[in-house]
């Protein structure tokens, strides 16, 4: 008898528990209301943020216009919104305040490498840099150690010359017979050079390098990284690999690097440039060893 009572009590409790849970429809309505409240509060935060402005202090220089031939800084106050990048802010300033403000840019997603500038004392891609992460005023200058063409645009010719000097293309020992023959690469070798292939030719590393600033003939971190990318690729020809290592083993090649890590610190693609340069130094030493 008492066992029956206990069972009934358990059933009653279960029924009571279930009735305490909201019906599925009620639950969906509550969830929907919660989402709407969250959305509204985010919209209110965005509206409040829209009234905020960001203070930009931008380097200006134009040798072709007499009144701008003297370098100076201009100040712009740009409306802030969530996700605003330095490039967005510069474009806003150009479109709304001064159409002569010049900055080089293209992809706006850290791929083309064209908008490397000096922001708050560090080389960065303007499109990859969130204004919210910076102290104000946000100081934007052209890349140091490069000749300024206009405002934030620098002459990249020397940088491109150094990149081209290392022959940034494959030189296999022999061209495979027939067209469209796939050149396979092992997974391990791919891993070895993976980071080196990420270079977007932005020039930030070169601009940060004290050695490159004082020695115009120094190939610079990006070009040495490019040489490393091909020298370490197993599909490269033996003769070409030896030539590459020889080319690096020069006064203005890898031995100029003083492992200051400035290039590695600023690279927007996180390429371990100093490590690659050190690896090539090691390869150069190995290459010169003679056993009699």
Show the site string, 256-275: x = touches ligand SF4 by CB under 6 A, - = not: -----------xxx-x-x--
Q: How far is the CB of 163 from ligand SF4 (least distance, A)?
A: 8
- Would you state the structure tokens that stand for residue 184, as one six-digit string? 């396979």
Which residue number, 243 or 265, has a Cβ lying nearer to ligand SF4? Answer: 265
How far is it, in rounded angstroms, from Cα 169 to Cα 65? 41
Instruction: Find the farthest-apart pair of alpha carbons in the chain and give their distance in angstroms, rounded.
Output: 106
Query: Count residues contacting ligand SF4 (CB under 6 A)?
Result: 16
Q: Which does 127 bind (CB under 5 to 8 A by kind): ligand SF4, ligand FES, none?
A: ligand FES
CA distances from 166 to 15, 74, 185, 234 (A): 79, 39, 22, 17
Q: Which does 125 bind (CB under 5 to 8 A by kind): ligand SF4, ligand FES, none?
A: ligand FES
Q: How far is the CB of 222 from ligand SF4 (least distance, A)?
A: 4
Q: Which does 269 bind (CB under 5 to 8 A by kind): ligand SF4, ligand FES, none?
A: ligand SF4
Q: Which does 283 bind (CB under 5 to 8 A by kind): ligand SF4, ligand FES, none?
A: none
Q: Which residues pair with 123 in a beta bridge?
A: 118
129 binds ligand FES (CB under 6 A): no
Backbone angles phi, psi at 111, to 5 degrees: -120, -40
Show the site string, 95-134: x = touches ligand SF4 by CB under 6 A, - = not: ------------------x---------------------
Contact 233, 170 (CB under 8 A): yes
Residues 102-121 that bind ligand FES (CB under 6 A): 105-108, 110-115
Contact 249, 287 (CB under 8 A): yes
Tell me which long-range contacts 58-62 makes (C-beta under 8 A, separation of at least 24): 58/90, 58/93, 58/101, 58/140, 58/151, 58/152, 59/140, 59/141, 59/142, 59/151, 59/152, 60/101, 60/151, 61/148, 61/150, 61/151, 62/100, 62/102, 62/150, 62/151
Show the site string, 193-222: x = touches ligand SF4 by CB under 6 A, - = not: ------xxxxxxx---------------xx
Tokens 């989402």, residue located: 35
125 binds ligand FES (CB under 6 A): yes
Q: Which does 108 bind (CB under 5 to 8 A by kind): ligand SF4, ligand FES, none?
A: ligand FES
Tell me which long-range contacts 282-286 makes (C-beta under 8 A, separation of at least 24): 283/231, 283/245, 283/248, 284/245, 284/248, 284/249, 284/254
Q: Which does 203 bind (CB under 5 to 8 A by kind): ligand FES, ligand SF4, none?
A: ligand SF4
Q: How far is the CB of 128 from ligand FES (least distance, A)?
A: 6
| Interface ranges with ligand SF4 (CB under 6 A) | 113, 199-205, 221-222, 225, 267-269, 271, 273
| Interface ranges with ligand FES (CB under 6 A) | 105-108, 110-115, 125, 127
């Amino acid at each position: 008898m008492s066992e029956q009572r206990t069972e009934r009590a358990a059933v009653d409790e279960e029924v009571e528990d279930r009735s305490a849970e909201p019906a599925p429809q009620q639950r969906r309505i509550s969830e929907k209301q919660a989402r709407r409240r969250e959305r509204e509060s985010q919209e209110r935060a965005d509206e409040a943020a829209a009234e905020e402005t960001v203070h930009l202090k931008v380097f200006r220089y134009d040798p072709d216009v007499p009144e701008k031939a003297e370098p100076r800084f201009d100040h712009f106050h740009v409306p802030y919104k969530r996700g605003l990048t330095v490039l967005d802010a510069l474009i806003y300033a150009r479109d709304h305040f001064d159409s002569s403000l010049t900055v080089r840019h293209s992809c706006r997603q850290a791929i083309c490498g064209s908008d490397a500038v000096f922001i708050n004392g560090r080389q960065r891609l303007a499109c990859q840099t969130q204004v919210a992460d910076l102290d104000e005023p946000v100081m934007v200058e052209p890349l140091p150690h490069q000749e300024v063409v206009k405002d934030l645009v620098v002459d990249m010719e020397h940088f491109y010359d150094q990149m081209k000097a290392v022959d940034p293309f494959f030189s296999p020992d022999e061209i495979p017979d027939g067209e469209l023959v796939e050149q396979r690469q092992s997974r391990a070798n791919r891993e070895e050079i993976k980071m080196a292939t990420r270079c977007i030719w932005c020039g930030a590393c070169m601009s940060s390098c004290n050695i490159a600033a004082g020695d115009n003939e120094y190939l610079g971190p990006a070009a040495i990284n490019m040489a490393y990318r091909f020298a370490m690729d197993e599909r490269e020809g033996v003769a070409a690999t030896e030539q590459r290592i020889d080319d690096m083993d020069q006064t203005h090649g890898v031995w100029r690097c003083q492992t200051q890590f400035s290039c590695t610190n600023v690279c927007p693609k996180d390429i371990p440039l100093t490590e690659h340069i050190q690896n090539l130094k090691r390869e150069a030493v190995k290459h010169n060893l003679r056993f009699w």
